Structure 1
Amino acid sequence: MFRAIQCRLALWYVGVTALLLLVFATGFFLYVRGTLIERVDDTLSHVVEVVSRALVIETGTAEVIDWQKSLGSDPLTSAALEDDHIDLEGFDPNRQLAWSTFAEPLNLPLHLSRTPETVPMGGDRWLRQMTVALVVGDRLLGYLRVSHPWFEVTQPSQALLWDLLLGATVALILVSISGWFLARLAIAPLQESYAYLKQFTADASHELRNPVALIQTNVQVALATADPATQQQQLQVIERLSRRLSRLVDDLLFLARQESGMVPLNPQPCHLDALLLAVVEEQEPLMQQKAMELCLNIADPPVTVPDQQAYFVWGNPDHLSRLLTNIVNNAVQYTLEGGTIHITLDQQGKYYRVVIADNGRGIPASELPRLFDRFYRLQGTALPGTGLGLAIAQSIVQAHRGQIQVESEVGQGTKFTILLPTPAKDRQG
């Protein structure tokens, strides 16, 4: 599938580039050819004007033009005409050829034209010609035909055409190669997203299948027995599984909306220390059940920050509370009874820093890279949860342009560090 997409992208890229090259090459060719023709026509017009004026003046009151005396005797004029590849023909009033610079007569009919025109000489030879009548008053002295070889237009045009074809071919080959690699780069995120979607779908299906199967089993047991006590027990199990399933669906929807950008962040002014205190208060009953010790330290803000602006952030308070709850709750769950949790809040330059450390069993170094993956659970754990808590925490931190880091050592405990940007005016250093 992706190879076909890559081929189509590359073909589109090459096709569009080929079309642009064709338009450019055609325009450039026509421009150069038009410039060459214009140059030849200007030369013809200039020669006709100069020579015809000289002939009229030289002839004066004579009845006929002495072509040889007027044009053939001037070596400078002959050399200039040869340099410009110009040939002249003089005709008497009866349109009979009287004088020519051509080695052999052209045998072309005389056709008056005040504008240059292209005429064939036979074979593949062509001339660009201009013919004018020489008139003094009402007296016709003859005709002047000026010719210029057309190969001075066709040869450079053909050379330019071959150069453009060669250049366009080489360019298309290079574009084809680069287009293939660019198409591969373009679909790389798509392949990654597709692989991620497949993995996510497989994980979600696995996590959803288990509670659904248990609910069905308990429903069947409840329907198969007439004992009210047994039915009541099965209904309680169903209710508990339904809550778990509902929590899992909520977490999945939250992650999907966060990553798709469907739901805006809607930042509001809030105080991070107040949110942290509220989360700690919510987790205290659990800590007391496990006889755990909590060490909470909220550092004084910098002296340049007023008290009412201490730990002030722009963010979504619900999301930030969920972030802190997930991390603190993980610390409580994975710390043994009688353990200690240290929570610190301070400001480090451009960031507020929240450190949540426990002295629990720790996390193996091999599992740390996958800790924030969806549905990832530590090996050998039997604690309740969906495996989405840390993925949600990371998503919230990234949405607030912050960072989350984890350090852990087996048997020593785990430390999570959350960095959230401070308002610009409160940044120090």
Structure 2
Amino acid sequence: MFQATRRRLAVWYTAVTAVLLLLFASGVYLYVRSTLVERIDDTLNHVVEIVERSLVIEPVNSGTETLRINIEASFRNNAETVEDDHIDLEWFSPTGELLWSTLTTPLNIPIHGSRTGETVHINKQEGWGESPVLLRQVTQRVEVGRQVLGYLRVSHPWFEVTKPSRQLIFDLALGTGLMVLSVGASGWFLSGKAMEPVGDSYQRLKQFTADASHELRNPITLIQTNVQVALTDLELAEGEVTAASHYRQQLKLVERLTQRLGRLVNDLLFLARQDSGISKDNFSPCPLDALLIEVVEEQQLLAAEKQITLSLHLVDAQNSDISPELLDNWFTLAGNWDQLVRLFTNLIGNALKYTPASGRVNVELARLEGIHRVSGLRYSSAQLQVKVSDTGIGIPSEALPRLFDRFYRVDPARTHITENTACDISTGSGLGLAIAQAIVEHHQGQIQVESSLGKGTTFIVTFPVSLES
């Protein structure tokens, strides 16, 4: 599918470029050809003017007003002058009779008075061979007063136009062909580059669909199984007290599975909204210190059950010159309270989950003051940084690049939920860190992870205090 689309894009690039190049080459050819024709016409008209000025006009008889051209005196030097330029002269009487010519073979073409130039064809004429010959001609009528003395026709071979025109056509065709080939190769390369993100998105969509189908299939299958078991047990043991108890146990398991399925669907919906950009920005001033205190208090019960020390450390301002108003809002940023609670609940919950008993999980909040210059002026850009560190099992280095991928787990083996294992029901779907990253990016922040296998992991989240528009 992608290769066919890539081919179509490359063909379209090449076709559009070929049409544009063809139009450009045609314009260049017509312009150069018309320039050559104008040049020849200018040359012919210039020769006509020179010859006209050199004509020797004399009376036919003494005492009469009738004039004639002295052909011998007029054209004696002109023949040698025009030979070097491949220009031929012909002189005709007022009645159209050829009187003098530089051509060895008469053209046998009737006179057409034209100062703008015309192209004539000579086909199989004696003395001109079997192949047709093209000439560019200008004919000038010479007259004194109302008396026509004759006609002067100047001819120039057309190959002065056709020869450079053919060479120009060859050069333009060669250049256009090479350009089309180059554009075709470039179009194939660029279309491949353009299709890469589409292909990556398609692969991620396929992976997402496969993982989502897998995650949804397990709880749905278990729901169906437990409902069928409960109904079967109820039919086999109708009227017994134990049947009601067993039926209640099965329905509770179905309820927990349904809750897990609902959380998974909500997570997918949240990520879909973030990806599509339809999530509304409902930001307000959020005191991050109060938010972390609340989240840590909520997680203290789980930490106590696992015998893990969970602590929160707030790094106070070091500068004593800070105004009281700024101190009151030292850890306040613009954000969405519910999303930030979800973010740090995920991070602290993961830290507790992968930290063994007697371990430690530490949450640290600090304000970072930065100075940058714009056009010589100094501006301060404050950031809030939260570190969630644990002394847990750590994460392999090869797993870090994909840690925030959706449905990705460090252990690729899927955990199967059974009715006898309560902890399996709470097994994560692999969307927690992907949601955490989406929330951080939605707040124009950054999230990083540092981990050493067997020593622990640290998540570093940095938020700007004020968001950029």
Q: Normalized against structure 2, the TM-score is what?
A: 0.82
Asked if 1:320 is matched to 2:340, the reply is yes
Q: Separation in 2 of the partners of 1:138 and 1:328?
A: 114
Q: Separation in 2 of the partners of 1:302 and 1:44?
A: 95
Q: Which runs of 4+ in 1 moved over 6 A?
A: none
Which residue does the alignment assign to 1:151?
A: 159
Determine if contact 1:301/1:311 at 8 Å carries over to the other structure.
Answer: no
Shift of 1:154: 0.8
1:240 to 240, 249, 256: 256
SS of corresponding position for 1:411: coil
SS of corresponding position for 1:120: strand
Asked if 1:257 is matched to 2:258, the reply is no
C-alpha spacing 1:85/1:246, structure 2 compared with 1 (3 Å): same
C-alpha spacing 1:153/1:319, structure 2 compared with 1 (3 Å): farther
Which residue does the alignment assign to 1:2?
A: 2
Which residue does the alignment assign to 2:115?
A: 114
In structure 2, the gaps of 5 or more residues are 60-64, 124-130, 371-380, 416-423
Matched length: 421
Q: Separation in 2 of the partners of 1:325 and 1:406?
A: 16
Which runs of structure 2 are paired with 1:275-294 in the superposition (5 Å)? 275-294=291-310
Determine if contact 1:367/1:378 at 8 Å carries over to the other structure.
Answer: yes
Which residue does the alignment assign to 2:360?
A: 340
Q: Separation in 2 of the partners of 1:353 and 1:72?
A: 104
C-alpha spacing 1:198/1:119, structure 2 compared with 1 (3 Å): same
Q: Separation in 2 of the partners of 1:313 and 1:86?
A: 90
Shift of 1:119: 0.5
Determine if contact 1:312/1:423 at 8 Å carries over to the other structure.
Answer: no
* Structure 1 or 2: more helix by fraction: 1
Post-superposition CA distance 1:371-403 (Å, at most 9, x none)? 222222343885622111011112222333432
Identity of aligned residues (%): 52
Which residue does the alignment assign to 2:25?
A: 25
Determine if contact 1:64/1:92 at 8 Å carries over to the other structure.
Answer: no
Which residue does the alignment assign to 1:98?
A: 99
Determine if contact 2:293/2:312 at 8 Å carries over to the other structure.
Answer: no
Asked if 1:387 is matched to 2:430, the reply is yes
Shift of 1:312: 4.2
Q: Separation in 2 of the partners of 1:131 and 1:112?
A: 5
Q: Separation in 2 of the partners of 1:148 and 1:232?
A: 112
- Over aligned residue pairs, what C-alpha RMSD do you find? 2.6
Which runs of structure 2 are paired with 1:2-401 in the superposition (5 Å)? 2-55=2-55, 58=57, 63-73=67-77, 78-79=80-81, 81-122=82-123, 123-224=131-232, 225=234, 226=238, 227-265=243-281, 267-301=283-317, 303=319, 306-348=326-368, 349=370, 351-379=383-411, 384-401=427-444
Which residue identity lines up with residue 242 of structure 1 in the other structure? T
Shift of 1:316: 3.7
Determine if contact 1:295/1:343 at 8 Å carries over to the other structure.
Answer: yes
Q: Separation in 2 of the partners of 1:249 and 1:345?
A: 32
SS of corresponding position for 2:149: strand
Determine if contact 1:335/1:358 at 8 Å carries over to the other structure.
Answer: yes
Shift of 1:59: 5.2
Determine if contact 1:397/1:403 at 8 Å carries over to the other structure.
Answer: yes
Which residue identity lines up with residue 400 of structure 1 in the other structure? H
Q: Separation in 1 of the partners of 2:439 and 2:189?
A: 35
Determine if contact 2:89/2:153 at 8 Å carries over to the other structure.
Answer: yes
Q: Separation in 1 of the partners of 2:72 and 2:332?
A: 104
SS of corresponding position for 1:64: strand
Q: Separation in 2 of the partners of 1:302 and 1:137?
A: 111
SS of corresponding position for 1:384: coil
Q: Separation in 2 of the partners of 1:166 and 1:38?
A: 26
Which residue identity lines up with residue 67 of structure 2 in the other structure? E
C-alpha spacing 1:209/1:127, structure 2 compared with 1 (3 Å): same
Q: Separation in 2 of the partners of 1:315 and 1:53?
A: 95
Q: Which moves more between the two structures, 371-380 or 414-423?
A: 371-380
SS of corresponding position for 2:69: coil
Post-superposition CA distance 1:264-304 (Å, at most 9, x none)? 54554434334333332332333343343233222234746
Post-superposition CA distance 1:163-201 (Å, at most 9, x none)? 111112222222222222222222222222222111111
C-alpha spacing 1:37/1:229, structure 2 compared with 1 (3 Å): same
Which residue does the alignment assign to 2:446?
A: 403
C-alpha spacing 1:171/1:74, structure 2 compared with 1 (3 Å): closer
Determine if contact 2:37/2:161 at 8 Å carries over to the other structure.
Answer: yes
